């Protein structure tokens, strides 16, 4: 750990994450004022895309650099440093929102499967999923299958795109050990990029919105030719170890 950080996870909590592939941080991540500021940015972004929840809400920090205040903040980096080490890069961010009654199901998937080939390794890539609205089983909160981050890449099959956010889903999922990530607004979860996860549709009258903030340890090589020319990464803390090129914060 670097002397400048204030680690927010204990050794026991880090061990839990390493063994299970996730951890629920049931405390406010940001101050109430800062959380409200982030929520307001989301509301603005949502209006800009006509309240359509599509890929335009991916990497919103490319369009609105106000989000870097949150993505590169000590509050977040102190949370992920115990998991990644002191050298941290910002991979991506995403506003994810399920509208009341019509929010589609998120099929079982691994984030790493969609990023395969874009980084040299995925064992040190963590997502912080920050609840902007209260997230519950009723309104389609995220769910994971503990321990599946050690299984390698899974096989996928096609699913009905009208009912699902994605067009494919992991085959033959044993969901008997599913854990639901119920969070109050301002709380967050952390999950390994390789863990099997998804979410049921939102059939409730309550919106479910979160902001994902994704980070990787800088000993992973960013493979530029496998990423789109306009994709950008930032050095969030520490030093680069793999010869990556970063944006200036």
- The better pLDDT of the pair 103, 6 is held by 103
Instruction: Look at residue 21 and tell me if it is in a domain.
Output: yes
Residue 86 lies in a domain: yes
| Beta strands, E only, the chain | 22-25, 88-98, 106-109, 125-131, 142-144, 156-158, 168-170, 179-180, 188-192, 197-199, 208-217, 234-237
pLDDT value of residue 3: 45
| Those residues with Cβ within 8 angstroms of residue 74's Cβ, 6 or more apart along the chain or in another chain | 5, 6
53 — pLDDT class (breaks 50, 70, 90) = low
Examine the pLDDT at 27 and tell me if it is beyond 90: yes
- Kindly list the distances between the CA atom of residue 228 and the CA atoms of 86, 97, 118, 168, 225, in Å, as whole numbers in the listed order: 27, 24, 10, 22, 7
Question: 96's torsion region: left (phi>0), alpha (psi -120 to 50) or beta?
Answer: beta
Residue 246 lies in a domain: no
Q: Please tell me the distance from the alpha carbon of residue 69 to that of residue 67, in angstroms, as a whole number.
A: 5
Cα three-residue angle 56-61-66, rounded to 5 degrees: 130
Q: What torsion do the CA atoms of 242, 244, 248, 249 make, to the nearest 10 degrees?
A: -50
Give pLDDT, residue 66: 96
pLDDT of residue 52: 65
The rounded percent of the chain whose pLDDT value lies above 70 is 95
Q: What pLDDT, on the 0 to 100 scale, is given for residue 115?
A: 95
In-domain check, residue 41: yes
Q: How far apart are CA 153 and CA 111, in angstroms?
A: 10
Q: What is the pLDDT of residue 26?
A: 97
| Calpha distance 185→244 (Å, rounded) | 35
Q: Is residue 3 part of a domain?
A: no
Positive or negative torsion for Cα 89, 166, 186, 41: positive
- Which pTM does this prediction carry? 0.94
CA-only gyration radius of the chain, Å: 17
d(CA 134, CA 126): 22
Our count of domains for the chain comes to 1
38 belongs to a structural domain: yes
Assess whether pLDDT exceeds 50 at residue 87.
Answer: yes
For residue 54, pLDDT beyond 80: no
Domain that residue 133 falls in: 11-220+232-237
pLDDT at 49: 75
Confidence of residue 56 (pLDDT cuts 50, 70, 90): low
- Reply yes or no on whether the pLDDT at 50 is more than 80: no
* CATH value at residue 167: 2.60.120.620
Asked if the structure places residue 225 within a domain, the reply is no
CA dihedral 51, 200, 188, 178 (to 10 degrees): -170
Q: What is the mean pLDDT of the chain?
A: 93
Q: Quick check: is 185 in a domain? A: yes
Q: Residue 6 pLDDT more than 90? A: no
- For the cut 60, the answer to whether the pLDDT of residue 28 exceeds it is yes
Question: Residue 116's CB: how many other CB atoms inside 10 A?
Answer: 11
119-133, 158-172, 224-238: segment of lowest average pLDDT: 158-172
């Amino acid at each position: 750990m670097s002397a400048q950080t204030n680690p927010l996870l204990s050794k026991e909590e880090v061990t839990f994450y390493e063994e299970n592939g996730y951890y629920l941080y049931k405390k406010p991540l940001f101050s109430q004022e800062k959380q409200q500021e982030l929520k307001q940015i989301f509301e603005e972004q949502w209006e800009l895309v006509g309240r359509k929840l599509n890929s335009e809400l991916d990497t919103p920090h490319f369009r609105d650099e106000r989000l870097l205040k949150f993505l590169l903040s000590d509050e977040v980096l102190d949370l992920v440093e115990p998991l990644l080490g002191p050298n941290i890069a910002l991979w991506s961010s995403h506003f994810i929102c399920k509208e009341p009654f019509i929010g589609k199901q998120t099929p079982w998937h691994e984030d790493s499967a969609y990023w395969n080939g874009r980084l040299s390794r995925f064992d040190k890539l963590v997502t912080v999923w920050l609840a902007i609205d209260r997230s519950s089983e009723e309104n389609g909160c995220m769910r994971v299958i503990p321990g599946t981050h050690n299984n390698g890449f899974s096989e996928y099959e096609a699913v009905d795109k009208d009912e699902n956010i994605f067009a494919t889903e992991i085959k033959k999922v044993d969901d008997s050990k599913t854990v639901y990530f119920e969070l109050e607004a301002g709380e967050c979860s952390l999950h390994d990029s390789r863990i099997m996860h998804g979410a049921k549709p939102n059939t409730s009258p309550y919106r479910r919105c979160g902001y994902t903030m994704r980070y990787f340890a800088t000993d992973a090589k960013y493979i530029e030719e496998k990423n789109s020319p306009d994709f950008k990464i930032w050095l969030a803390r520490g030093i680069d170890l793999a010869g990556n090129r970063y944006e200036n914060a």
